[in-house]
Amino acid sequence: MNILMLRHSAGFEHSYLPDAEVAFKQIGAGQDWRVQTTHHLNHITPERLGQLDLLIFATTGNLDFNDEQKEAILDFIRSGKGFLGVHNATDTGYDWPEYGDMIGGYFDGHPWHQEVGVLVEDKDHPATRMLGDQFRVTDEIYTFRAWDRSKTHVLMRIDNDSVDLAKGNRDDHDYALGWCHSYGEGRVMYTALGHPDALWHEAWFREHILGCMRWAMHLED
The whole-number mean pLDDT for each consecutive block of 10 residues of the chain, a chain of 221 residues, reads 95 92 97 97 96 97 96 98 97 97 96 95 98 96 96 97 94 97 98 96 98 98 93
pLDDT value of position 12:
87
Burial of 67 per CB tally in 10 Å (0-12, 13-18, 19+): exposed
**AA identity, residue 221:** D
Distance CA 177, CA 209 (A): 13
Distance CA 204, CA 192 (A): 15
pLDDT value of position 128:
98
Distance CA 104, CA 151 (A): 7
pLDDT value of position 152:
98
pLDDT value of position 17:
94
Q: Please say whether the beta carbons of 112 and 142 come within 8 A.
A: no
Q: Please say whether the beta carbons of 70 and 96 come within 8 A.
A: yes
Out of 3.40.50.880, 3.20.20.370, 3.90.700.10, 3.90.230.10, the CATH code matching 2-216 is: 3.40.50.880
Interhelix angle 17-30/203-216, rounded to 10 degrees, is 70
Question: If you count them, how many residues does the chain have?
Answer: 221
Per the rule left: phi > 0, alpha: psi between -120 and 50, beta: everything else, 61 is: left
Domain boundaries, the chain: 2-216
